[in-house]
Amino acid sequence: MRDMSTTVGMIGLTENPEAMRKFVLLGPEMANMVFKFEDESFNNTEKKGDPNNHHNANKAAQTAFLTHEKALESVMTDLGNPFLEENEDLYHLESKKICPSSSKDTVFTI
């Protein structure tokens, strides 16, 4: 059974030479793009390695994440948690130097 939207779209194509020309030129390329998308998205049987492998699910990415997490924890232990600050000043996280009010206003506006 055909989808009605496809049939209605084809009727308009045959009546408009410009639309028909675009369809004839772009139709095969669009079909190829859809095929590639569906193949990459839904056909996970023949891919390299684990079919559900995320780009961060490898040993190097996990090691880098752990290193960054420990560095952040160390900074927050030494300098305090910036999310617990109650004042409205804008300051550098490491040096705790307060920015001028004009800079604060610009950042809050953005």
Chain-wide mean pLDDT for the chain? 76
Task: Find the helix or strand (DSSP H, E) in which 49 lies.
Answer: none
Cα dihedral: 26, 32, 38, 39 (round 10)? -170
Predicted TM-score (pTM) of this structure: 0.35
Extents of the domains making up the chain: 4-42
Q: Taking 70 as the threshold, does the pLDDT of residue 68 lie above it?
A: yes
Instruction: Find where tokens 């390299």 sit.
Output: 48
- Model confidence pLDDT, tens digit, residues 16-60: 888 888 888 888 888 888 888 888 777 655 555 555 666 677 888
Q: Taking 60 as the threshold, does the pLDDT of residue 4 lie above it?
A: no
